[in-house]
Amino acid sequence: MALVDEAKLHVKAGDGGDGCVSFRREKYVPRGGPDGGDGGDGGSVFLEASARLRSLIDFRFRAHFAAERGAHGRGKSQHGRRGRDLVVAVPLGSLIRDAASGEVVADLVTDGQRLLVARGGRGGRGNGHFATPTNRAPRRADKGTAAEERWLTIELKLLADVGLIGLPNAGKSTLLSRLSAANPKVAPYPFTTLEPQLGALHLDDRLCILADIPGLVAGAHQGVGLGIAFLRHIERTSLLVQVVDASLEHEEVLAGFRAVQEELACYRPDLPARVRLVALNKIDLVAAEGLHLLELAFDRLGVPTVPVSGMCGQGVEGLKLAIGQLVAAATGIEPRQEA
């Protein structure tokens, strides 16, 4: 499942309807008095978080959203109809900013959470409001007020249970396709994955959301490679599984592990602690002795490992079991129930 994780949109609420100047005109009632109705209030624009959405792709094709304006007042004290509100659905994990100031407006993380982003204009008063003992036939009514409008940016941060991270070409996409029904692009060259990918891992009667985060390189926290655009997704991921290419030289594997750890720490100091498991991938290309030495090295670092081959499927069931145990044991984490 591909993801579009940034969007810009313009929202405009409805203007208020104008008040009406009118006088009661009936036979035998020569001075019926003012009966102009009030204008209706304009509709407002809301953003609402929806668990059914996983991407901002719809905003690539539509960037302008407007609520209905209020109807004008009419004679015989007929008030204008209020404009309908507009509710725009956005995915869970959407960070809303004001485009002009960059100020964070809200963080929408709960299904059904609603945010007012543009308030509708007030309807104008009809001339009946301006009658006085000395001016019983006022020819004055208010115009409806203009509605709020603004440009907003939406930044999507994934709400996944487990994130797969690692250097480019470590085999994360292949593992994701083995662990779930996801079908990401797989190729033998770095940066095959250019957007975060989501997959669903079935754990008995539970459903665990996996996110394949595009490869990290040295300097990612400063924007190198795919950079901060994808580091943001790790912030909301409950657990991290670091995938390493075990077919490389022993020291190269450990250096790659440390490089990713350093990038996580530079972006946010608490992130390295979320790496609770290392998947030693491509073990079909590793001798038994070399694999044993790698397991000992990571054991000394205090990080549990699971040997696996995304290409051959070897060890995948063991990796699923290890992920399930970590998700179940993590404090405050409840794997999502399947709908």
SS3 state of residue 234? helix
Per-residue pLDDT, averaged over 90-108, amounts to 93
In tens, the pLDDT along 190-207 reads 334 445 677 778 776 667
6 vs 82, residue with greater confidence? 82
pLDDT at 70: 98
106 has pLDDT over 80 = yes
DSSP conformational letter for 274:
G
Question: What's the CA gap between 206 and 190, in Å, rounded?
Answer: 33
> Which residue type is seen at 43?
G
Tokens of 228: 């901060």
Tokens describing residue 23: 């006088």
- 28 falls in which pLDDT band (50, 70, 90)? confident
Q: How far apart are CA 20 and CA 141, in angstroms?
A: 6
Region 253-259: what's the mean pLDDT?
A: 92
Are 185 and 192 a contacting pair, CB within 8 Å? yes
- Check if the beta carbon of residue 18 is closer than 8 Å to that of residue 96: no
- pLDDT for residue 129 is more than 80: yes
Higher-confidence residue of 235 and 101: namely 101
Measure the CA–CA gap between 202 and 180, rounded to whole angstroms: 8
Please give the structure tokens belonging to residue 47.
Answer: 């953003």
- Which residues lie below 8 Å from residue 204, measured CB to CB, with a gap of 6+? 324
Q: Are 108 and 156 in contact (CB under 8 A)?
A: no
* 279-314 pLDDT tens trace: 999 999 999 999 999 999 999 999 999 999 988 999
Q: Given this model, what pLDDT does residue 35 score?
A: 94
Mean per-residue pLDDT for 83-102?
Answer: 94
**pLDDT more than 70, % of the chain:** 84
228 pLDDT exceeds 90? no
Q: Please, which residues bridge with residue 206 across strands?
A: 203
